[in-house]
């Protein structure tokens, strides 16, 4: 068993420009080049010191086209979109303003990131966000975005290896390419976006779920220091359908979707 190495690519295109199939195809090529750059010679020596299990993840401020989603799914590439997420709109706006007003030619990525952090654009309007990486049903990663410290008591949890939090799925906002889900977690609104190749599976599950029943779970891994030992722990969020009639829930979702189309 080799350690996991996460290889990522990030894009921040305009809202109307989607991440397309060639972007994902190129990323798959990069992943293969990296994974194949491992040679064991007859002498037993290796050309690299360590070997890894490489996992690819593609982040985007805008949506992914359907063929890009299908290609990523076929090649085990995780894709995460932040499209339509209101909690990130100011950050995305600041990034685009920074790029349009800054000389970036001949600068390294580290220099650009440092300059952005030091600029007046960096998080200028909304600093009150907190982000956590979770895994739906142990299969697909999501980026959970809420108000600052929405997991405010994480350090005061018990010393068990996992902590269970109950949540309700209250809204969703869909377009042709992806779906924004909203959860009610202890009174806080938490958002995450899924490409529709995954979101449609969640929607189908909702149709088969009764009020108050579990739809899916989200595991949030983190490292906690307990008795001077670093221990990997999980916060498990159990997401249920709201405790009111399912027909009312469908009407509620329909109203939200109709408002989004106006």
Whether the CB-CB separation of 91 and 82 falls below 8 Å is answered with no
The per-residue pLDDT for 71 is: 96
Identify the pLDDT of residue 63: 93
pLDDT tens series, the chain, 262 aa: 678 888 999 998 887 899 999 999 999 999 988 877 766 666 666 656 677 788 999 999 999 999 999 999 999 999 999 988 888 888 888 888 888 888 888 888 888 888 887 776 655 455 678 888 899 998 899 999 988 777 765 556 555 556 788 888 888 888 899 999 999 888 888 999 999 999 999 888 888 888 888 999 999 887 777 777 777 778 888 999 887 656 666 666 666 666 665 5
Alpha helices for 75-191 (secondary structure H): 89-100, 109-118
pLDDT of residue 234: 81
Q: How many Å apart are CA 224 and CA 183, to the nearest integer?
A: 25
Specify whether the CB–CB gap between 11 and 79 falls below 8 A: no
What is the C-alpha to C-alpha distance for residues 46 and 40, in angstroms, rounded to an integer?
A: 5
Question: Domain-by-domain residue ranges, the chain?
Answer: 1-81, 86-127, 129-262
- How many residues comprise the chain? 262
Q: Tell me the CA distances in angstroms from 58 to 34, 68, 143, one per residue in order.
A: 16, 11, 12
Q: Is pTM, for the whole model, over 0.85?
A: no
Quote the distance between the C-alpha of residue 79 and its chain's center. Answer: 8
For the record, the structure tokens of 23 come out as: 């972007």
Residue 191 tokens read as 């958002």
Give the pLDDT of residue 30: 92
């Amino acid at each position: 068993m080799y350690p996991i190495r996460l290889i990522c690519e990030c894009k921040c295109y305009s809202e109307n420009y989607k991440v397309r199939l060639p972007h994902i195809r190129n990323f798959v090529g990069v992943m293969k080049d990296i994974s194949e750059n491992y040679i064991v010679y007859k002498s037993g020596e290796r050309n690299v010191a360590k070997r890894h299990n490489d996992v690819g993840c593609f982040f985007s401020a805008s949506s992914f086209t359907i063929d890009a989603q299908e290609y990523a799914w076929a090649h085990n590439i995780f894709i995460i979109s932040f499209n339509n997420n209101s909690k990130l709109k100011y950050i995305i706006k600041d990034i685009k303003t920074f790029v349009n007003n800054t000389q970036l030619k001949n600068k390294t990525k580290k220099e650009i990131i440092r300059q952005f952090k030091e600029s007046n654009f960096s998080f200028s309007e909304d600093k009150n966000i907190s982000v956590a990486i979770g895994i739906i049903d142990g299969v697909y990663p999501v980026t959970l975005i809420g108000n600052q410290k929405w997991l405010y008591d994480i350090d005061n949890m018990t010393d068990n290896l996992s902590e269970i939090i109950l949540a309700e799925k209250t809204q969703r906002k869909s377009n042709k390419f992806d779906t924004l889900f909203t959860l009610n977690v202890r009174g806080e609104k938490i958002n995450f976006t899924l490409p529709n190749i995954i979101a449609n599976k969640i929607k189908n599950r909702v149709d088969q779920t009764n009020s108050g029943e579990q739809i899916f779970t989200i595991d949030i891994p983190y490292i906690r220091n307990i008795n001077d030992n670093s221990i990997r722990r999980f916060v498990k969020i159990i997401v249920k359908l709201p405790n009111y009639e399912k027909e009312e829930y469908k009407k509620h979702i329909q109203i939200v979707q109709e408002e989004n189309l106006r």
